[in-house]
């Protein structure tokens, strides 16, 4: 491990990761973590190998107080828990300040204190003198350290403060260091700085403060990640941020982007051994806990981060994946996707065929491509309907069998002036020589249809119980046709091992839904047969490359 020494002390190839998803991230619009959510997320972040997890602001609400009590019952392997608070009030002694009392009651090994580093805020927000603000910083840190806590100091608005009054901003940092702070963190609280400003101001702090420094950036200019990396290059050894960049206004630095850049691009050590491959899983877990949709284009962990659509790109990728991928997706736990659409060339289909261990037949590939393009013209879309595309290829290759035949289905809606609408579906199928005729009610016609279909099939194929529908989306294909327009239904399903999408298109939304539902079930059953007969699994990557 290489090491050099600066005025801030030894700089190693280790960068500390401090997560504030449970406090700063929870301030994002639309996010409201429950106590159980926070405990589960903390356990996941600890497993990933974060050094510090900020649990909340115990003086602000009872839920955060409960979190600090409950988290003590969980044995963490890697992370230390930090409680967040503010410097003492200007007219109170530390021992009389209710915020500091709440911090001590939280019984965390680390306490993070935020204090003003911008003279304008000291005067106009705190309504106190610059000297009194320094005493508030000193008294608070000294008191908490005397009580046995490791104290981190967040210098709020440090960069704006430095630009207005550099001498005073540095005095705030020095006061925190002299009082016994273990880390001093420079905060771009408004998120308004550019990279060169961050680099220059951090470098100046490194020259003056003999203490490990950290960085905390916001994303109001879209530069939180970049500014964090610039600060590291200028000498900080501690980075703060949130999973997926959650945070107030435009968010905080996204640790799911910061960390792989530090590890894969800059050669730093940030996480527990071999845990970088869990990053995508952790990102999506936190999205699920926050009840938010996953953005497709999020760097490294997004569903489209390693998705390839252009035929020319895929043609090059079949020779070397490094042509259009800057890292191997598996290093961060993501996967490569070859998208199928009217923009696809034969290479896209060949790449998909290789995943299924199919014969490389150019004439057949061209036939499949023409068929896919015809379907796209009708409104089908296969970019996220990988399972429906898989079934198309299987049918062309005769690597397909029907598990059931439809006799008929029917859906009805009953609505009276006094009741909510009730949906009922009837499904009649021929399954393994038997007639299955079932009726089910549901919250809507598609839910009722899905329930009736499962009742008909599960006695013959119990493995269907493993799968569940996780998303249902409808889009009008040709809106000018008004109520006679075709609709496209996309259904996403999953089981314990896989996640897949299917598509249906029709002028009738129920029939489009039926197509997507039955595709999803057929894909599950065929995948189980593949597993039983040891066929290569879909998603197997056959092309490798050097990413250096």
Q: Which residue has the higher pLDDT, 32 or 198?
A: 198
The pLDDT tens digits of the residues spanning 453-501 come to 999 999 999 999 999 888 888 888 776 666 667 888 989 888 877 888 8
pLDDT at 540: 32
With 0-12 CB in 10 A as exposed, 13-18 as middle and 19+ as buried, what is 205?
Answer: buried
Q: State residue 208's pLDDT score.
A: 96
Give the CATH superfamily of 12-290: Aldolase class I (3.20.20.70)
Better-scored residue on pLDDT, 355 or 242:
242
CA 511 to chain CA mean position, Å: 34
The rounded Cα 305 to chain-centroid distance in angstroms is 12
Q: Mean pLDDT across the stretch 436-442?
A: 94
If you average pLDDT over residues 424-440, what whole number do you get?
Answer: 95
For the residues 266-295, what does the mean pLDDT come to?
88
Quick check: 353 pLDDT over 60?
no
Whether the CB-CB separation of 181 and 151 falls below 8 Å is answered with yes
Q: Which CATH architecture has domain 379-401+468-513+522-535?
A: 2-Layer Sandwich (3.30)
**Cβ–Cβ under 8 Å, residues 391 and 398:** no
Q: Quick one: pLDDT band at residue 542, thresholds 50, 70, 90? A: very low
pLDDT bracket for residue 295 (50, 70, 90): confident
User: The domain at 404-460 falls in which architecture?
Assistant: 2-Layer Sandwich (3.30)
d(CA 218, CA 231): 13
DSSP calls for 437-484: EEEEEESSHHHHHHHHHHHHHTTT-GGGGG-EEEEEEEEES-GGGGGG
pLDDT score at 477: 79
Cα dihedral 115/257/74/496 (nearest 10): 150
Q: Are 477 and 506 in contact (CB under 8 A)?
A: no
Confidence band for 7, pLDDT divided at 50, 70 and 90: very low
**Starting from the edge strand earliest in sequence, which strands make up the sheet with 405-414, in order?**
405-414, 422-431, 434-442
Q: What is the DSSP letter of 269?
A: B
Please indicate whether residue 73 or residue 339 has the higher confidence score (pLDDT): 73
Higher per-residue confidence, 543 vs 351: 351
Same fold, 12-290 and 404-460: no
Give residue-wise pLDDT tens across range 164-183.
999 999 999 999 999 999 99
Cα–Cα distance, 315 to 323 (Å, whole number): 10
d(C-alpha 457, C-alpha 295), whole Å: 35
According to the model, what pLDDT value does residue 539 have? 37
Q: Please, are residues 349 and 359 in contact by the beta-carbon 8 Å criterion? A: no
Q: What pLDDT digit, counting tens, does each position of 43-86 carry?
A: 999 999 999 999 999 998 899 999 999 999 999 999 999 999 99
State the average pLDDT over residues 142-160: 98
The stretch 295-304 carries a mean pLDDT of 87
Q: What is the mean pLDDT of residues 233-247?
A: 97
Coil/strand/helix, residue 144: helix
In terms of Cβ atoms closer than 10 Å to its own Cβ (0-12, 13-18, 19+), residue 154 is buried
Residue spans per domain, the chain: 12-290, 307-378, 379-401+468-513+522-535, 404-460
Residue 356 has pLDDT above 60, yes or no: no
């Amino acid at each position: 491990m290489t090491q050099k020494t600066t005025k801030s002390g030894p700089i190693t190839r280790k960068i500390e990761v401090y997560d504030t998803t449970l406090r700063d991230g929870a301030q994002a619009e639309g996010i409201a973590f429950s106590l159980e959510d926070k405990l589960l997320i903390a356990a996941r972040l600890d497993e990933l190998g974060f050094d510090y997890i900020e649990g909340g602001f115990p003086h602000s609400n009872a839920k955060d107080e409960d979190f600090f009590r409950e988290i003590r019952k969980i044995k963490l392997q890697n992370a230390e828990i930090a409680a967040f608070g503010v410097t003492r009030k200007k007219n109170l002694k530390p021992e009389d300040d209710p915020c500091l009392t709440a911090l001590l009651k939280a019984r965390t090994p680390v306490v993070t204190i935020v204090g003003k580093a911008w003279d304008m805020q000291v005067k106009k927000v705190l309504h106190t003198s610059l000297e009194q603000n320094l005493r508030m910083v000193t008294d608070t840190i000294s008191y908490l350290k005397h009580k046995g806590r490791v104290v981190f100091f967040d210098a709020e608005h440090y960069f704006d403060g430095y630009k207005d009054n550099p001498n005073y901003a540095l005095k705030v940092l020095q006061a925190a260091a002299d009082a016994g702070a273990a880390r001093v963190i420079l905060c771009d609280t408004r998120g308004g700085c550019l990279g060169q400003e961050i680099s220059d101001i951090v470098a100046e702090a490194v020259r003056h403060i003999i203490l490990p420094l950290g960085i905390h950036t916001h994303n109001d200019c879209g530069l939180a990640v970049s500014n964090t990396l610039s600060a590291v290059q200028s000498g900080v050894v501690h980075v703060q941020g949130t999973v997926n960049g959650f945070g107030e206004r435009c968010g905080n630095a996204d640790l799911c982007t910061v960390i792989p850049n530090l590890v894969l691009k800059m050669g730093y050590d940030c996480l527990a051994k071999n845990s970088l491959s869990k990053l995508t899983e952790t990102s999506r877990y936190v999205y699920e806990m926050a009840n938010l949709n996953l953005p497709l284009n999020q760097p490294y962990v997004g569903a489209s981060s390693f998705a390839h659509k252009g035929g020319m790109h895929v043609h090059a990728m079949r020779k070397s994946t490094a042509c259009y991928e800057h890292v191997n997706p598996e290093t961060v736990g993501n996967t490569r996707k070859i998208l199928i659409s009217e923009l696809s060339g034969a290479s896209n289909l060949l790449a998909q065929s290789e995943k299924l261990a199919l014969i490389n037949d150019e004439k057949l590939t061209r036939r499949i491509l023409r068929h896919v393009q015809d379907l796209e013209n009708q409104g089908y879309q296969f970019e996220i309907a990988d399972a429906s595309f898989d079934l198309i290829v299987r049918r062309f290759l005769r690597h397909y069998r029907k598990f059931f035949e439809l006799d008929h289905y029917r859906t009805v809606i009953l609505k009276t002036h006094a009741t909510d609408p009730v949906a009922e579906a009837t499904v009649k199928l021929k399954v393994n020589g038997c007639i299955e005729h079932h009726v089910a009610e549901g919250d809507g016609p598609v839910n009722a249809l899905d329930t009736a279909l499962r009742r008909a099939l599960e006695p013959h194929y119990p493995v269907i119980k493993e799968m569940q529908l996780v998303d249902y989306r409808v889009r009008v294909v040709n809106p000018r046709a008004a109520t006679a327009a075709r609709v496209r239904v996309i259904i996403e399903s999953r089981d314990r091992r896989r996640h897949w999408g299917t598509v249906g298109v029709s002028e009738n939304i129920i029939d489009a839904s039926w197509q997507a539902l039955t595709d999803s079930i057929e894909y599950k059953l065929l995948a189980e047969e593949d597993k039983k007969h040891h066929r290569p699994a879909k998603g197997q990557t056959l092309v490798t490359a050097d990413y250096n």
